[in-house]
Amino acid sequence: MGNLCALLNPKPAPPTSKKRSSSIRREKKKLDDAAIRDQAIAAAILFKQHQQQQKQNFDRSTSLRYPNGVSKRNNSNSNTLPRSSSSRARSLTDPLLQPHQLVNQGVKVDDLETNHFVLVHGGGFGAWCWYKTIALLEEGGYKVAAIDLTGSGVHSYDTNNITSMSQYVKPLTDFLEKLPESEKVILVGHDFGGACISYAMELFPLKISKAVFIAAAMLTSGHSTLDIISQQAASDDLMQQAQKFLYANGNDLPPTSFDLDKSLLRDLLFNQSPTKDVALASVSMRPVPFAPVIEKLNLSDLKYGTVRRFYIETPEDNAIPLSLQENMINASPPEKVFCLKGADHSPFFSKPQALHKLLVEISKIL
């Protein structure tokens, strides 16, 4: 939200000036209120349209360190690698750009290996969190699907009854299974969504052109998301304060899910995000199922390892600090690493234009 401007007028103005000034202020307030109302209505309509479209198509409801060619793929052992030009310093504000300004004019969207993005939300979020990214990508000519995982967003299921990763990601795996054999997508995972797209990459490697991890859990085989979280838990007071474990099966049994304290959401997840998006999240987020978080993934080089991976770092992140992101990157180096300057844990809110530009750039990497 913008800063409130104080109107100072030390000298008394004539009655006609006061009337004119008052009229201008009333008119400005009407315009501001109308703009905010129009934004909210547009976002709600957009999200509803996507849910209806995905239900019709698939019968269910559905956020440089390593240069090109340098990865496990070509067995490079270089220790000092140049950053991508996309990690250059950016303004802390997210400049408003039109979609055509964000697209590399040298490559047409229709000529790409795939122009189809599939967006997978993080723990507690839902497809609703991608509303800005959906609009920007579609206006740029891309096809977009945003998935509600089981018990998330508008998916009507009790989170406490989710007992496995396969159950949690079923909306995503169903979506991929129903894709035509010749069609590929770019999977994008945020937060815990990183573990979810990793699970899908192991199942459907031939249907995934690229995988993008945004401030996400990027695991190595035999590890769980809890293994990653535990690396910071001891020193992260904010995360410990925010987590509230739920015990639907009784206090003497493991937790079934965990929720986040709404009063700490801004500091933990949205410290650089607009107030209106924080408000949206505070009434839309749901508990995170615990069983998938502690499930260890089996990821093979022959399946998961064949999908091209990219990582987008969020340096202002209080939920998954940059140091933890870099630990995951070093443990399993992706093809490229981008740093989204000024982004908090939710760059689809805090840096939507810059995030969009990176997604477009990644889609056009040959």
Q: Which residues are catalytic?
A: 191, 317, 345
Cα R_g (the chain), whole angstroms? 22
The contacts of residue 248 (CB under 8 Å, 6+ apart) are 158, 160, 161, 256, 257
Crossing angle for the helix pair 131-139 and 352-363, to the nearest 10 degrees: 50
Q: Is the dihedral of CA 75, 76, 79, 82 positive or negative?
A: negative
Q: How far apart are the first and last CA of the chain?
A: 39
Cα 170 → chain centroid: 19
Q: Is the dihedral of CA 252, 253, 254, 260 positive or negative?
A: negative
Q: Distance between CA atoms of 48 and 54, rounded to whole angstroms?
A: 10
Interstrand relation of 257-260 and 243-246 (parallel, antiparallel or unpaired): antiparallel
Q: Distance between CA atoms of 310 and 358, rounded to whole angstroms?
A: 10
Q: Which residues of 89-113 are buried (b: 16+ CB within 10 A; e: fewer)?
A: ebeeebeeeebeebbeeeeebeebe
Beta-ladder partners of 210: 186, 308
